[in-house]
């Protein structure tokens, strides 16, 4: 086998687009998500189109025992993960903190922070042992700036940025690279999940604006991981041209 990449949240959106661009560049893939049927469809598609090897694993990154069992017991030919893409993440709701649903907070914290930690903890020791590897954390502009109703989600993405920085310190002296990719508005299933499946409400988020696509972010990931090994793209912020900050875009901007 050639290089191996492991992608969490690979059944849709940025994770799926990243799987495709890596497969296009002849990288074998471990793809994980909660929706196994989608992973199997993606496996068949990528193997047919790009002639790479693909291992689908049903995985909920919030479940510590499941993560440890699945990722520390990979088949021998899949054990040496070269690239880890911590992509699994979500937002739930836009409530003010005082009105927030605690169950939503726990889902975001368990997925965006603890899930990233569990997966990284399972994969990183092998990278350190081999003195080789690249970890990409998909963060967000929301980790740099907050916005009304974004309280807990923004806090989780700020945590991803700080964890990325801390991890660079933890692996200093090795040949392991830690990369953070921080997109602004991306049209995926993100808003559908945020609004509990309300497709019409989600569509309005992207009306009269040209957001990023999942493929735009995947191309940024590929650029970062394909740099020479002595080069680390520490942190890349990727924004739609029509968005100037986490809160400000052409739909809500009025010139004075």
Catalytic residues, by residue number, are 153
Instruction: Give the 3-state secondary structure of residue 135.
Output: strand
Instruction: Report the 10 Å Cβ neighbour count for 102.
Output: 8
8 A C-beta contact, residue 178 and residue 137: yes
Helix, strand, coil proportions of the chain in percent (round to 5)?
45, 15, 40
Q: List the 83-86 sheet strands across, edge first.
A: 54-58, 28-33, 4-7, 83-86, 133-138, 176-183, 235-238
Token pair for 198: 């309300």
Instruction: Report the 10 Å Cβ neighbour count for 156.
Output: 26
């Amino acid at each position: 086998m050639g290089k191996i990449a492991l992608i969490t949240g690979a059944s849709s959106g940025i994770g799926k687009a990243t799987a495709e661009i890596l497969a296009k560049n002849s990288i074998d893939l471990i793809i994980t998500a909660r929706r196994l049927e989608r992973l199997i469809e993606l496996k068949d598609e990528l193997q047919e189109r790009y002639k790479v090897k693909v291992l689908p694993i049903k995985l909920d990154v919030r479940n510590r025992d499941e993560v440890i069992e699945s990722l520390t017991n990979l088949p021998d030919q899949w054990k040496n993960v070269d690239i880890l893409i911590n992509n699994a993440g979500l937002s739930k709701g836009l409530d003010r903190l005082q009105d927030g649903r605690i169950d939503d907070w726990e889902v975001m914290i368990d997925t965006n922070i603890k899930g990233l930690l569990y997966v990284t903890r399972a994969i990183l020791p092998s990278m350190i042992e081999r003195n080789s590897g690249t970890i990409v954390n998909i963060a967000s502009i929301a980790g740099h700036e907050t916005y009304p109703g974004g309280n807990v989600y923004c806090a989780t993405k700020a945590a991803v940025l700080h964890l990325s920085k801390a991890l660079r310190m933890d692996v200093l002296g090795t040949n392991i690279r830690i990369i953070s990719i921080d997109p602004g508005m991306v049209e995926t299933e993100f808003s559908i999940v945020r609004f509990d499946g309300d497709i019409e409400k989600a569509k309005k988020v992207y009306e009269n604006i040209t957001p990023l696509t999942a493929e735009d972010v995947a191309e940024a990931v590929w650029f970062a991981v394909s740099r020479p090994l002595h080069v680390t793209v520490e942190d890349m912020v990727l924004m739609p041209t029509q968005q100037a900050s986490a809160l400000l875009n052409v739909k809500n901007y009025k010139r004075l």
